[in-house]
Each structure stands twice: as structure tokens, then as C-alpha cells.
Amino acid sequence: MERPKKRGAGIKYMLAGGTVVAALGLLMEPQSLFAKMTTAKTICQEVIQPKAVLSREQLSQLLTVPDRAPKEQLRQVTKSPYCRLAAVAAQSGTTPEQEVYPLAFDPQTWLIVSYEGGEYTGYTFRFKH
């Protein structure tokens, strides 16, 4: 006696094969593409304080500052940044300022603080390892 063929069996194999091909594609090239994009965004336009670093205590204080706090409030914690990044226009049409603070306990890691219109809008980390 012959087994009846299931309709969805062919589609399942195509989906599984497509998923494997897509996963392999992601593993090959996008890593270098991502590295190029990240590097382009973290080029210092102007070095302000070559010896500036951020201590663990300063970092923990900075993380408690609310969004939209005045830039001066953050500067009380962080002091002068190592450098200012090249300006890149945001989707909102504004041009945010970004300042870099290398971490004293891990100089290969940068804290990047963003401001718009003189107000703190957030931070991100850049790992150079």
C-alpha cells in the first residue's frame, strides 16, 4: 500500500534550505561590513583631552543621569571628553553631538555619550578588542 504524499513536505524542505543558506550568508560577509560601519561612526573629529578616562565611579554616576538632562549636568560627572566624533545627521533631521570617554579600567572600550540641542540623549559602548 502506498503512502499518500503530504502537501506541505516540499515547502518545509524549501524553507529549511533557505534558512540554512541565509544563515551561511550572514556568517560570511556582514561581519566585515558591520566593522566598517562601526569604525566609520567612531572616528574622532577633534581630540579635546588626550589623557581623559572615565572611572568606574564616574560611569556608575553617569548611568543614573536621566535622558534630556542638560549637558552641563553630565559634565559635572564626566569632565572633559577624550574626543568629539564626526557629526552624522540623524533621521530626525538634527545633528547630534557625540563625545568619547575611554574607560580607565578598560581603555579598549569607549563610552560614547550623545547630545542633541545641549541635552543628554543616551550612550553606547564601542569595543575595540
**What digits encode the pLDDT tens for the residues 84-128?**
998 876 666 777 899 999 999 999 999 999 999 899 999 999 998
Stretch 47-63: mean pLDDT, rounded?
Answer: 95
**pTM, whole model, 2 decimals?**
0.64
Q: What is the pLDDT of residues 57-76, one digit of tens each?
A: 999 999 999 999 999 999 99
42 vs 35, which has greater pLDDT?
A: 42
* Grid cell listed for 85: 566624533
Query: What is the mean predicted confidence (pLDDT) over 29-48?
Result: 58
The candidate with the shortest Cα–Cα distance to 60, out of 127, 128, 123, is 123
Q: 43-127: which CATH number, 3.20.20.60, 3.40.50.450, 3.30.1450.10, 3.40.50.970? A: 3.30.1450.10
* Residue 41 exposed, middle or buried by CB count within 10 Å (0-12, 13-18, 19+): middle
